[in-house]
Amino acid sequence: MSPPRSHGSLPAPGADLAALLARVARGDHAAFAEVYDRVAAPVFGTVRSVVRDPSLSEEVTQEVFVEVWRAASRFDACKGSPMAWMATIAHRRAVDRVRSEQRAAARDRRSAAPMIAYDDVAETVEDNLDRERVRRCLGALTELQREAVTLAYYGGYTYREVAGLLGVPAGTVNTRMRDGLIRLRDCLGVAR
């Protein structure tokens, strides 16, 4: 396995992943295994937080990675980070799966508690750099922004459902979601 091309300066982890994805696009299965090893935990964690059911979460996670394998050539490094690309696929799949199951049978979830796995110590990945940072940045949001963001992202609820859960108008939820995410983006320093 040849290392990704160096460009003289310290390689960003994202750039590394992008180089791996470029190899995946050419059918490099070893590169794909490496991509999996690096992003399986965030993908699985995200899917599980939305889907909840362990075996269904595994199924969806597998679908996500098959999609990554199939569509690697469609990843455009100039338009977003590899992690954003894969996390977006994962979250969309999880949410779509939950909603289609939901249409078949009511989802078994009674509490409105956001499902970020803060206390889910047993299975979470240690040494998670994102977690502390995200926790801090979520803490900097207003309560409504934070609830709207966590219910939507970790809970997989639509904004109308979030509005119902929080008892506020849907329009308010929309603006809080947007403002909250923008603040989160700026706090996390991921803006271009």
Partner 1 sequence: MTGSRPEPHTLAGAYAMDALDGQDRARFERHLERCEECTREVAGLHEATARLAGAAAVRPPDALREQLLAETARTRQLPPVTHGASPAPARRAPVVPGQRPARFRGRLRAPRLAVVLAGVAVLAAVAVWAGGTVVRSAPPTQSPVGHDVATVLTAPDLAVLSGQVRTGGTATVMMSRRDRMLVFAAAGLRALPGSQCYELWLMGPGADRPAGLLPMPKHGMSGPVVAAGLRTGDRLGLTVEPAHGTGRPTSPLILVLAL
Which of residues 110 and 123 has its CB atom nearest to partner 1 in the complex?
A: 123
Euclidean distance between CA atoms 130 and 169, whole angstroms: 31
Q: What SS3 state is found at 127?
A: coil
Q: Which is nearer to partner 1, 113 or 190 (CB)?
A: 190
CB of 145 to partner 1, least distance (A): 9
Measured between alpha carbons, how far is residue 117 from residues 47, 48, 168 in Å? 12, 9, 25
Site string for partner 1, 163-192 (x = CB under 8 A): x-----xxx-xxxxxxxxxx-xx--x-xxx
Handedness of CA 65, 71, 72, 75 (dihedral sign): negative
- Rounded CA gap, 103 and 113, in Å? 22
14-33 residues in contact with partner 1 (CB under 8 A) are: 14-15, 18-19, 21-22, 25, 27, 29, 32-33
Q: What minimum distance in Å lies between the beta carbon of 89 and partner 1?
A: 10
Q: Which is nearer to partner 1, 74 or 110 (CB)?
A: 74
Long-range contacts of 120-128 (CB under 8 A, 24+ apart): 124/45, 125/41, 125/45
Binding pattern for the stretch 35-74 against partner 1, x by CB under 8 A and - elsewhere: -xx--xxxxxxx-xx--------x--xx--xx--xxxxxx
Q: Which of residues 91-150 bind partner 1 (CB under 8 A)?
A: 91-92, 95-96, 99, 116-117, 120, 123-125, 128-131, 133-135, 149
CB of 110 to partner 1, least distance (A): 20
C-alpha neighbours within 13 Å on the C-beta side of residue 22: 14
Residue 157 touches partner 1, criterion: CB under 8 A = yes
What is the C-alpha end-to-end distance of the chain, expressed in Å? Answer: 31
